[in-house]
Chains A and B, each alone.
Chain A
Amino acid sequence: MKRFTRLLIMETENVWRFPTLEIMIAIGIINALRQPNPLLPTIEYFRTAQYVANPGWGTSTFFLIFLIPVLVARSFAKGLSGTETRVMLSYPIKRWETLLSKLLIVLLPTLAIFSTVFLLSAFYLFQLPTLNPLPYSLLLSLLLPMLFLTALSFSLSLIAKDELKTVLFSLFIILSLESSLDYVGAPYKYIFIRGSTVISQYLHATFNGRLDNFFQNYTTADVQVAFGFPIITTIILLMIVFLYFQYKLDID
């Protein structure tokens, strides 16, 4: 445990350094600039409504889409492309510990930072009450695509073994997945970021007891796909990554 904790500290220091922090500050500034003008209640109302209806395409989500592949590439793919992983695995560290530390180092700080930005923007910029379930349900709805994106980037790192290729492939797959789904009939187009819209509205309707309204626009299959796709694909991808890294991969 002591060894694993040290590994986590080491990974954190290695990955969360310049310019990651600077990018996060920039995102905070962009979010602040989106502050609704109190003199224009209609626009404020409009923005809040948009925020509820379409969280998948907010600034924070874009931040997430770019940040996660970059972090995974920096932490995992870069090590595989050079000798860094070989050096690390020559110390008394188990392979699964290395993988788990990299996974946690990408997920936990991102989740913490992202939640902070998200909730602060909900409470202070959109002036929602702290007990309002809306921001929490939105946050939960974005957690699933975030997990999926992490798993995808880890899988691509193993294939590409290159920092830049991992970022590009991840972005290409995520963005093309979103675009190509326009040509597929419902409910399959709700599998990724638009799926988070379904999840957030479903959770919000559940908290407010307005599920009837929700099902006027969506079906049960939409909800199942929106929840099921990211969960199942994340589990499958992470299992493949784990088994391949633990038992098969030659670190040469």
Chain B
Amino acid sequence: MENLVTTKDLTKSFGKIEALKGLNLEAKKGISGFIGPNGAGKTTTINILLGLVKPDQGEAHVFELDCWKQSFEIRKHLGVLHEKAEFPNYFTGLRYLEHIAHLYNVPTPKQTVQKALKDVGLTDAADRTIKTYSAGMTQRLGLAQALIGNPELAILDEPTANLDPLGRMDFLEKIQTLHKDKGTNFLISTHILPELEKICNWVSIINEGTIADQGYIQDLIKKYSTDTYIIKVSEPTQFIKKLEKTSTIENAWTNGQIIYAKTKNYKKFNKEILELALQLDISLYAIEPIHSKLDDLFKMALEQKK
């Protein structure tokens, strides 16, 4: 079972609003990113995966089980942190996690809860009621409750939304550690992309209710990066004027120091650049492909889809 999550031609409408329009999502073992702009359908998809929302058409499977008919079986092995999750305000963090540990039939609930509180840095606030928690603390409590049942897959919807930069870094480290140590798989929905880039092995890009692109992150980066290069020369302004007229260049631009060039023919491109540099007697320092960051990749995937 390589795919933990699979959806096929999934559609869902709320009144006149079409939230999902034939979504074909895959999430592999490991840490998967689920990215898309606001209103793209991420939360609706997650709700369908949890059996909270019934799809109009199509199929959704988690652990190869049907998300609507077998949602109870799925949820036994799933931990979830919802976006803007609300927890019963009058419980203390400790008491709430104790209840959740019992619901997951955790063998040693007290020790597990203490460890979970320690892991998310809430030991000192364990006996305070949840209503006194800051947004960041509530988010950390959310992470603790998602992981307390030692799930096979944790679905996290905008998990770093309320965390400060240091908290975000800790959070990402925690996810990586959990994946390494316990083998917990993650499906992380977010629009804060640089964070995902550091930890994800698989990315699905959703836009307007359909998948714009998905794949292993390195493959996607290669896919969207192979034809754009950085050229470093001694006289960029002079060089770019001639460069634009060469046959292999589709588009070229410069910031005054570095030239960016998009090529139509990678094989001929290098040769032409070398010949041009010799012809103009300009020193050529470097030609390197641009390795897109996840946010570039995201933009390009969306543009390509359009």
Q: Please give the residue numbers on chain A whose beta carbons come within 8 Å of chain B beta carbons, in ascending order.
A: 2-3, 6-7, 9-10, 13-14, 17-18, 82-84, 86-87, 89-94, 248, 250-252
Contacts and interface: CB of A to CB of B under 8 A. Distances in A.
B179 to A, nearest CB: 21
Given A14-B88, A14-B91, A92-B72, A86 B54 contact: no
23 contacts: A3-B102, A3-B103, A3-B105, A13-B90, A14-B90, A18-B90, A82-B86, A83-B85, A83-B86, A86-B47, A87-B85, A89-B50, A90-B75, A90-B78, A90-B82, A91-B75, A91-B100, A92-B72, A92-B75, A92-B76, A92-B103, A93-B75, A252-B47
Given A251-B47, A252-B14, A90 B52 contact: yes
A96 to B, nearest CB: 11
A72 B103 CA distance: 23
Contacts of A14: 88, 90-91
Given A86-B47, A87-B80, A252-B52, 18 more contacts: A6-B99, A6-B103, A13-B90, A13-B91, A14-B90, A17-B90, A83-B84, A87-B87, A90-B80, A90-B82, A91-B100, A91-B104, A92-B75, A92-B149, A250-B14, A251-B47, A252-B43, A252-B47
A251 B105 contact: no
Interface of B: 14, 43-44, 47, 50-54, 72, 75-76, 78, 80, 82, 84-88, 90-91, 95, 99-100, 102-105, 149
Contacts of A2: 102, 105
Which 7 pairs show the lowest CB-CB distances between chains A and B?
A: A90-B80, A251-B52, A6-B102, A250-B53, A92-B76, A10-B99, A83-B86
Q: Is the interface of A mostly helix, strand, loop or mixed?
A: loop
Nearest to A248: B54
Nearest to A14: B88
Nearest to A13: B91
B52 A13 contact: no
Given A91-B103, A92-B104, A93-B103, A84 B72 contact: no
A214 B75 CA distance: 57
Nearest to B55: A250
A89 B72 CA distance: 9
B54 A250 contact: yes
Nearest to A18: B90
Contacts of A250: 14, 47, 52-54
B145 to A, nearest CB: 8
Contacts of A6: 99, 102-103
A204 B79 CA distance: 56
Nearest to B54: A250
Contacts of A17: 90
Contacts of A83: 82, 84-86
A89 B103 contact: no
Contacts of A248: 54
B103 to A, nearest CB: 5
A91 B99 CA distance: 11
B40 to A, nearest CB: 15
Contacts of A92: 72, 75-76, 103-104, 149
A102 B85 CA distance: 20
A143 B102 CA distance: 34
B266 to A, nearest CB: 47
Contacts of A89: 50-52
A252 B90 contact: no
Contacts of B84: 83
Contacts of B100: 91
Q: Identify which of B14, B84, B88 gathers the most chain A CB atoms within 10 Å of its CB.
A: B88
Contacts of A87: 80, 82, 85-87
